[in-house]
Amino acid sequence: MSDILSILVSTVVLGSIYGLVALGMTLIYGILRVLDMSQGSMVMVGGFVGWAVMTSAGLSPWLAIVAAFAATFCLGVLTQVVSVQPLIGRRGTDFEMITFITTFAVAMVLSNLALQFFGPRQKNVPELVGGSIHLYESVSLPYQSIVMTAIALALMIGFALFLNRSRYGIAIRAVAQDLDAARLMGVPIKRVFPLVMGFASAIAGVAGVFLATQYFASPTAGDQPLLIALIVVIFGGLGSLQGAIVAAYAIGLIQAAASVYVSTTWALPILYGVIVLVLIFRPQGIAGRSLEARL
Amino acid sequence: MPADATTPLLDVRGLSAGYGETTIVRDAALHVGRGETLCLVGPNGHGKSTLLRALTGLLPLSGGEVRFDGERIDGRAAERLTELGIVHIPQGDHLFPDLTVEENLLMGAFPKGAWKGRGDALEAVFARFPKLKDRRRQRARTLSGGERRMVAIGRGLMRQPRLLVIDEPSLGLAPVIVEGVYEIIAGVAAQRTTSILLVEENFTHVEEVADRVCVLEMGRIVRTGLPSELAGDAAVTQSYLGALPS
């Protein structure tokens, strides 16, 4: 019983954080056809912004979340303008491959800048809120986990509502499905693309604050989340939002269950093993249509 | 040029356009008056769609000028032309396959001004195409060809266009459905509030709706006249037989 409870608790927490990073990645892939390798750096930058606001400046954690959102939004827009926009519509280039590399270059620059400014040492970031609820025997649920999950779910639901209901949200999905037709409808694609990458990066930045409170802020803090997000996105079916969110929780569950029943050391190898198996039998992922993933 | 009731709504002079090094449309001139319906006919592959794509900013011009309401609009991007009230219904519909019928129609009202009146516009489109109302929650990819064409036209009507540019509305549809599509177009044309530039390969239906007809051949406009004048015209017949004009 206590095993199952603690698995559930960490599934929800891990899944929510992975979901945030993967949501951004899948959105960017679905709309721009860019496998954005800079998303891990947004997590890293979000962590450092959280550290700067909470520890250095000693301000409220809520402000840290807002600041991380704003900073990574701007950084995401900038990344799009610098490393993706100039390549759109170029003849004779493999857009997906080139932007994979240019966004990876941005990631390298960002993590080296972080190394330069903050040094290689891991920085402790305090909890957003202290205290916990005792659930059962040795299992307790920290308020911090509840807060993170609530914010993550709110962001995911907010995003889904935005994409399904609002003028710009529907337009963003339209751009992903037929670029020329979207232009004929009057959708300003030059504004939509940076906006998408800004929002995607901003939610990765928020996830970065969450991860930093669980672990540390460091120049390499984004590497593991990037890898997990890539796995989540491929597992969910590239470009599928629902698929990514389901996959995020599924992967959180596999990781949590492996940690409890086997050991934390084996959690990641087991996770990768399961994913290899799933992809052998269902290469298009959970929700993807074969090679035609769409929002 | 001042814009008044006597200037044509759309005035095209010396337009050339193509892809890369290849010029497809050469020195084309045409104009569409206020409330007028002009049909551009010509065989496949002779530049009709290229001309439309150049007019509505999807393709850069290599020469010439385009005026809308007296104002130069060539060189403007497609997304900015919609603000002026130019609506292009592209060949093959270009619906958003995974958006619902209703979402597709709503995208027709994307410009800020039109978005406010989207509810009324939607009802007006549903009144014109009752079938679409039943299918409003269905994804566009699941529709039949005729239904798709209705969504494409409906989407174009969502923002009270001043100029409706329609590229081959009969393409790929069964004759009985083409009749229905042309009834709708005739209905819009008869209101005389929207000018229409219609492109069609087939001369048959054009006669029912056109005020004037232009014939485009080998990238040039070779004849302009009333539909009745052109119906028995030798140049038109030659175009369709594929022979070069002497």
Predicted local confidence at residue B59, as pLDDT: 85
Domain boundaries, given as residue ranges, for chain B = 1-85+199-246
Q: Is the ipTM of this complex over 0.85?
A: no
Q: What is the domain-level CATH number for residue A155? A: 1.10.3470
Tokens standing for residue A153: 């779910």
Distance in angstroms (rounded) separating the CA atoms of residues B215 and B201: 10
Average pLDDT for B30-46: 88
Q: Give CA A153 to chain center in angstroms.
A: 13
Q: Give CA A277 to chain center in angstroms.
A: 23
Question: What are the backbone dihedrals phi and psi of residue A290, each rounded to the nearest 5 degrees, phi first?
Answer: -55, 115
Predicted local confidence at residue A206, as pLDDT: 94
Q: State the pTM of this model.
A: 0.79
- DSSP states along B56-117: TTSS-EEEEEEEETTEE-TT--HHHHGGGTEEEE-TT----TTSBHHHHHHHHT-SHHHHHT
CA neighbor of A144 nearest in space, from A291, A16, A274, A281: A16
The reply to whether residue A186 touches residue B110, judged by beta carbons under 8 angstroms, is: yes
CA neighbor of A207 nearest in space, from A44, A30, A91: A44
Q: How many angstroms away from the CA of A174 is the closest CA of chain B? A: 6
- On chain B, the residues whose CB falls within 8 A of the CB of A31 are none
More confident residue, B242 or A178: A178
Q: Give CA B192 to chain center in angstroms.
A: 16
Predicted local confidence at residue B160, as pLDDT: 84
The 8-class DSSP code of residue B160 comes to -
- On chain B, the residues whose CB falls within 8 A of the CB of A170 are 99, 103, 106-107
pLDDT tens digits along B138-150: 999 999 988 999 9
Tokens standing for residue B21: 């090094």
Q: How many angstroms away from the CA of A171 is the closest CA of chain B? A: 7
pLDDT-derived band of residue A141, with 50, 70 and 90 as boundaries? confident
**What total of structural domains would you count in chain A?**
1
Fold of B1-85+199-246: Rossmann fold (3.40.50)
Chain B contact for A295 (CB, 8 A cutoff)? yes
DSSP helix/strand/coil, A122: coil
Predicted local confidence at residue A30, as pLDDT: 82
- On chain A, the residues whose CB falls within 8 A of the CB of B80 are 186
pLDDT tens digits along B172-228: 888 888 888 899 999 989 988 899 999 988 777 888 888 998 888 888 888 888 887
The reply to whether residue B110 touches residue A171, judged by beta carbons under 8 angstroms, is: yes
The reply to whether residue A183 touches residue B58, judged by beta carbons under 8 angstroms, is: yes
pLDDT tops 50 at residue B246: no
Distance in angstroms (rounded) separating the CA atoms of residues B194 and B214: 19
Chain B contact for A170 (CB, 8 A cutoff)? yes
pLDDT tens digits along A181-235: 898 898 988 888 899 999 999 999 999 999 998 888 899 888 888 988 888 888 8
- Closest chain A residue to the Cα of B111, Cα to Cα: A186
Rg over alpha carbons for chain A, rounded to the nearest Å, is 19
The reply to whether residue A186 touches residue B82, judged by beta carbons under 8 angstroms, is: yes
Distance in angstroms (rounded) separating the CA atoms of residues B169 and B206: 11
More confident residue, B157 or B229: B157
pLDDT tens digits along A36-68: 999 999 999 999 999 999 888 888 889 999 999
- The mean predicted confidence, pLDDT, of chain B is 86
More confident residue, A91 or B23: B23
Share of chain A above pLDDT 90, in %: 30
Quote the domain boundaries for residue A172: 2-293
Predicted local confidence at residue B234, as pLDDT: 57
- The mean predicted confidence, pLDDT, of chain A is 87
DSSP helix/strand/coil, B144: coil
